[in-house]
Amino acid sequence: MPDFWSRFSAPLLIGIALVLAFAFHRNRAVLVLAVLVCVSLAFADLGGVAWNRRAGEAVRMFAPWLLLAAAVMPERRLRARRNLLLLGALVVALWLATAGPPQVWAALRTALPLGWLPWSAAAVAMTMIVLAALLCLLRWVRHRPPLDLALACILLLTAIALLPTLSAGAASDLLLLAAALILVAILHAVYRMAFVDGLAGLPNRRALDEALERLSGDYVVAMIDVDHFKAFNDRHGHDAGDRALKAIAAQLAATRGARAYRYGGEEFCLLFVDTSARAATAACNELRERVARLRVAVRAAGGRKRSGRAGRAESGAAKVTISVGLAQRGKSERAAGEVLKAADKALYKAKANGRNRVVAA
């Protein structure tokens, strides 16, 4: 059993990560992990000396091209033509590695990965995989998808595993580390899908419901609504509306003594634990004032110059304000739903009394 685990732990963990990536439509990760399953199996010592040598050659010949292609291609549905072509190339590579005629194999070994370079096949393969890792890292720097950072790390570990001075056991250990890393990254991505709002970057309503279920003592809930948000969207466009929500979310996250959540649409929620109603009200007033000082970049109305001819939209800035309603868990409102309802009623009072204000239940 220990021998089985040492040989197949990396392929098994990478396979589990592959299944999770497929289930949650992380298709670039699916392509990379499909290649890495084959790479990890090549280092699992499945046959004799001749087979192991051929498996190592196959990894250096085919894996760099496949991994680089997976890193270059944009995220698309798995059945997109380019993805299917890459998966087809992987199947062809597997057939060549296991059943390719000797003369064909000898010719491919001379030509791949880049036979015209005066470097060893291992050096070329490592360089190409490092390039694939750098592409994933660049995508992470530009767009911040956490999974791309994990892909960059596991590709770097794979490149190191191809060092000719490393034993098969050491290479398998590196791939096992890569498997554990990508598995954690995919589980983290799944968690974010379930509990974090993609636009605001705040925990979502499901996370709020679970947090409220775990609370037993006194706490304060503040419901926040962006004033006249529909009119703001109609006038300045949805891109400006998204920027406004992100800016407000950043201010909510900085509120002292509170945990911020996106409740839905233009509504947010603050949860104060071990904080008095007076302190929570003061914190919400500070928040309201900070938001009132925000300026959101918008395009000029209509996107036209004064001459009336179509042209580049002039830049500008718009104000946003919020209304806040607070409620504290007390003798009359004990259940979480009752506290939320009381805070919502206070929010409607704030809006009815002229907006851009804080009202406590």
Query: Does the pLDDT of residue 349 top 80, yes or no?
Result: yes
- Decide if 222 contacts 284 (C-beta within 8 A): yes
Q: With cut-offs at 50, 70 and 90, classify the pLDDT of residue 197.
A: very high
Rounded mean pLDDT, 281-309: 77
User: CA distances (Å), 156 to each of 34, 187, 195, in order?
Assistant: 17, 20, 30
| d(C-alpha 19, C-alpha 13), whole Å | 10
User: CA distances (Å), 276 to each of 13, 74, 284, 289, in order?
Assistant: 48, 50, 12, 20
Q: Tell me: the pLDDT tens digits for 42-54?
A: 888 776 777 788 8
DSSP H helical ranges for the chain: 2-23, 27-42, 49-72, 81-99, 102-111, 121-143, 146-161, 168-195, 205-214, 229-236, 238-253, 277-292, 336-352
Euclidean distance between the first and the last CA atom of the chain, given in angstroms as a whole number? 64
Query: Does the pLDDT of residue 209 top 70, yes or no?
Result: yes
Query: Does the pLDDT of residue 263 top 50, yes or no?
Result: yes
| d(C-alpha 106, C-alpha 132), whole Å | 27
| d(C-alpha 319, C-alpha 342), whole Å | 28
| Nearest alpha carbon to residue 277 among 345, 338, 361, 180 | 361
Query: Does the pLDDT of residue 304 top 60, yes or no?
Result: no
Query: Does the pLDDT of residue 245 top 50, yes or no?
Result: yes
Six token digits for residue 19: 């299944």
Q: With cut-offs at 50, 70 and 90, classify the pLDDT of residue 215.
A: confident
pLDDT score recorded for residue 4: 65
- Decide if 98 contacts 57 (C-beta within 8 A): no
- Calculate what percentage of the chain has a pLDDT beyond 90: 65
pLDDT score recorded for residue 315: 60
Six token digits for residue 266: 């233009």
Multiple choice CATH, 205-360, 2.40.160.210, 3.40.1350.10, 3.30.70.270, 3.40.50.620: 3.30.70.270
- Cβ burial of 59 (10 Å; 0-12, 13-18, 19+) is buried
Spell out the domain ranges in the chain: 2-195, 205-360
Tell me how many degrees the CA angle 86-36-119 measures, rounded to the nearest 5.
Answer: 85
| d(C-alpha 171, C-alpha 66), whole Å | 19
Six token digits for residue 304: 């036209």
| Nearest alpha carbon to residue 223 among 185, 187, 266, 191 | 266
Query: Does the pLDDT of residue 13 top 60, yes or no?
Result: yes
Q: Which residue has the tokens 């800035």?
A: 317
Q: With cut-offs at 50, 70 and 90, classify the pLDDT of residue 313.
A: very low
Q: With cut-offs at 50, 70 and 90, classify the pLDDT of residue 300.
A: low
For the residues of 268-286, what is the DSSP string, one character each?
EEEEEES--HHHHHHHHHH
pLDDT score recorded for residue 309: 40
Q: With cut-offs at 50, 70 and 90, classify the pLDDT of residue 352.
A: very high
144 or 328: which leads in pLDDT: 328
User: CA distances (Å), 273 to each of 83, 211, 216, 329, in order?
Assistant: 49, 11, 10, 10
Residues 6+ apart with CB under 8 A from 319: 292, 294, 295, 296
Residue 344 C-beta-side C-alpha neighbours within 13 Å: 9
pLDDT score recorded for residue 330: 78
What average pLDDT does the chain have? 89
Q: Report DSSP state, residue 303.
A: G
pLDDT score recorded for residue 312: 40
